[in-house]
């Protein structure tokens, strides 16, 4: 290709969609350049490009049945059977997922000193695998399991070994998976499914995640709130904020006069609170912006 043809190509007007995207990315870049200590809150949308489906559609409505409720898991043996059967099938997909461009861009921003704290609603651990440090996992981690009786912690991989040993009929079964590793499986032989017991005390095991209807541990909320106070802006990435555990940080930011920018495909609960909103895939937007930002003064 000749230089003249390159020049002609550059002179061609952008389409309205390209122009809109360019303007939006410029606005996001300017926002992040002005605010060098970001409080970042991420949701399921940040992991979609890693092959992990989100929970909600573009309007913020559930795309599938809601995840299990804490009270049902606690009180019903049938509910525990159903949960562990679905988790046995769905967890391997989360365990094998790899960080995508959004996770890597946020890890880079953190390494450059531009993130005061990264707080995630996700339980997949992909931020840490990408290199982000000191992540606050609001809803816990699917990689760990706790005993509700003795308090012992076990790796989810170890519990998967028990599940496969005791339930060979489900080995190799595949089904659509949600962001929490819950497979959309309805097994007719559920009454024969063997729920894993605690290897230490034979007590009731629960994944170390916050179920719907369960409270986020106070120390996690306090750590995130403290980080928000120290930040000069907030960035929401891939969250509809329909769950109050994340939405409250937007409310607190507004009360403190802290500006908020968001990258999310579709409606969020906090649309009226944002100073800036970008509707684009998380990885595309973050990669484009991160490539043109200098390291924060806090890391020079």
Question: What pTM was computed for the model?
Answer: 0.89
Domain end marker among 153, 187, 209? 209
pLDDT at 293: 87
Stretch 27-46: mean pLDDT? 95
**297 lies in the same domain as 173:** no
Stretch 97-111: mean pLDDT? 97
Domain end marker among 209, 225, 254? 209
**234 lies in the same domain as 287:** yes
**202 lies in the same domain as 223:** no
SS3 sequence of the chain: CCHHHHHHHHHCCCCHHHHHHHHHHHHHHHHHHHCCCEEEEECHHHHHHHCCCCCECCCCCECCCCCCEHHHHHHCHHHHHHHHHHHHHHHHHHHHCCCCHHHHHHHHHHHCCCEEEEEECCCCCHHHHHCCCCCEECCEEEEEEEECCCCCEEEHHHHHHHHHHHCHHHCCCCCCECCCCCECCCCCCHHHCCCCECCCCCCEEEEEECCECCCCCHHHHHHHHHHHHHCCEEEEECCCCCCHHHHHHHHHHHHCCCCEEEECCCCCCCHHHCCEEECCCHHHHHHHHHCCCCCCHHHC
> pLDDT at residue 186 above 60?
yes
* Mean pLDDT taken over the chain: 88
* CATH code of the domain in which 129 resides: 3.40.50.1220
- Say which range, 41-45, 66-70, 101-105, 217-221, has the weakest mean pLDDT: 66-70
**242 lies in the same domain as 292:** yes
Task: Quote the number of domains for the chain.
Answer: 2
The residues assigned a catalytic role are: 139
**153 lies in the same domain as 198:** yes
**116 lies in the same domain as 78:** no
- Say which range, 8-22, 98-112, 114-128, has the weakest mean pLDDT: 8-22
**44 lies in the same domain as 108:** yes
> pLDDT at residue 266 above 80?
yes
**159 lies in the same domain as 47:** no
């Amino acid at each position: 290709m000749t230089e003249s043809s390159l020049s002609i190509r550059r002179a061609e007007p952008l389409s309205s969609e390209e122009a809109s995207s360019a303007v939006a990315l410029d606005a996001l870049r300017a926002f992040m350049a002005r605010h060098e200590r970001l409080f970042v809150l991420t949701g399921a949308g940040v992991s979609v490009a890693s092959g992990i489906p989100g929970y909600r559609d573009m309007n913020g409505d559930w795309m599938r049945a809601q995840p299990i409720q804490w009270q049902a898991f606690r009180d019903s043996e049938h509910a525990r059977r159903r949960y562990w059967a679905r988790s046995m099938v769905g967890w391997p997909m989360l365990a094998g997922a790899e960080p995508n461009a959004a996770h890597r861009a946020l890890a880079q921003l953190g390494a450059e000193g531009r993130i005061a704290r990264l707080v995630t609603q996700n339980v997949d651990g992909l931020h840490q695998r990408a290199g982000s440090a000191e992540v606050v996992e609001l809803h816990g981690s699917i990689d760990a399991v706790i005993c509700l009786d003795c308090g012992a912690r076990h790796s989810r991989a170890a519990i998967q070994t028990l599940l496969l040993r005791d339930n060979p009929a489900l080995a190799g079964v595949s089904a659509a998976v949600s962001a929490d590793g819950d497979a959309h499986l309805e097994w007719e032989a559920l009454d024969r499914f063997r729920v894993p017991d605690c290897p230490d005390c034979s007590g009731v095991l629960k994944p170390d995640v916050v179920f719907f209807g369960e409270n986020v541990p106070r120390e996690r909320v306090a750590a995130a709130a403290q980080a928000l106070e120290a930040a000069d802006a907030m960035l929401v990435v891939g969250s509809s904020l329909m769950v109050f555990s994340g939405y409250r940080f937007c409310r607190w930011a507004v009360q403190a006069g802290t500006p908020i920018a968001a990258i999310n495909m579709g409606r969020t609960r906090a649309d009226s609170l944002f100073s800036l909103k970008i509707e684009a895939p998380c990885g595309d937007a973050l990669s484009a912006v991160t490539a043109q930002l200098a390291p924060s003064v806090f890391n020079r």
